[in-house]
Amino acid sequence: MIKTEQIIDQDRPVRILSTLIQNSAVPHALLFSGIEGIGKRTCAMLFAMACNCGDLHSKKNTGETRSGQVPNNIFSPCGNCKSCKRILSENHPDIIQVNPSGPIIRIAQIRELLETISMRPYEAQMRVVIISEAHTMNPESANALLKSLEEPPDRTIFILTTGQPTNLLPTILSRCQHIRFNPLSNQGVEHLLINNIKIEPPIAKTVAILAKGSYIKAVTMTTDKWLRKRNWLLNEIDTLAEKPKNQILALAESLASNKEALPDILLLLTTWFRDQLVYQSDPEKILNKDLTNRIQYVSQRTTDKHLHSRIKAVQEMQNKLKYNVNLRLAMESLMMNLAGI
How many Cβ atoms from other residues are within 10 Å of residue 133's Cβ? Answer: 20
Residue range 145-156: mean pLDDT, rounded: 89
- Write down the pLDDT at residue 69: 40
Residue 305 — pLDDT band, cuts 50, 70, 90? Answer: very high
Give first-to-last CA distance, the chain, whole Å: 55
In tens, the pLDDT along 234-250 reads 999 999 999 999 999 99
With 0-12 / 13-18 / 19 or more C-beta atoms within 10 angstroms meaning exposed / middle / buried, residue 66 is: exposed
What does the DSSP 8-state code read for residue 165? G
What interhelical angle do 262-279 and 201-210 show, nearest 10? 130
Q: What percent of the chain has pLDDT over 90?
A: 57
- pLDDT for 307: 93
Q: What integer pLDDT is reported at residue 62 of this predicted model? A: 52
Does the domain at 4-180 match CATH 1.20.1560.10? Answer given as no
User: Alpha-carbon distance 235 to 307, whole Å?
Assistant: 16
Which CATH code fits 223-339?
1.20.272
Question: Are the CB atoms for 135 and 101 separated by under 8 Å?
Answer: no
Query: Cβ(28)–Cβ(149) under 8 Å?
Result: yes
Q: What is 70-94 written as a DSSP string?
A: --TTTT---S-SHHHHHHHTT--TT
Query: So what's the pLDDT on residue 60?
Result: 56
User: What integer best gives the mean pLDDT of the chain?
Assistant: 88
Range(s) for CATH 1.20.272 in the chain?
A: 223-339
d(CA 175, CA 177): 7
Q: Is residue 223 predicted with pLDDT exceeding 90?
A: no
CATH code 3.40.50.300 region(s) in the chain: 4-180
State pLDDT tens for residues 47-83. Answer: 999 999 877 766 655 555 444 443 344 467 888 888 8
Give the residue ranges of DSSP H helices in the chain: 11-22, 40-52, 54-61, 82-88, 107-117, 139-150, 170-174, 186-196, 201-210, 215-220, 224-238, 245-256, 262-279, 292-299, 304-320, 327-339
Tell me what the mean pLDDT of segment 307-326 comes to.
93
Residues written for the chain: 341
In this prediction the pTM is 0.77
pLDDT at 107 over 50: yes
What pLDDT was estimated at residue 108? 95
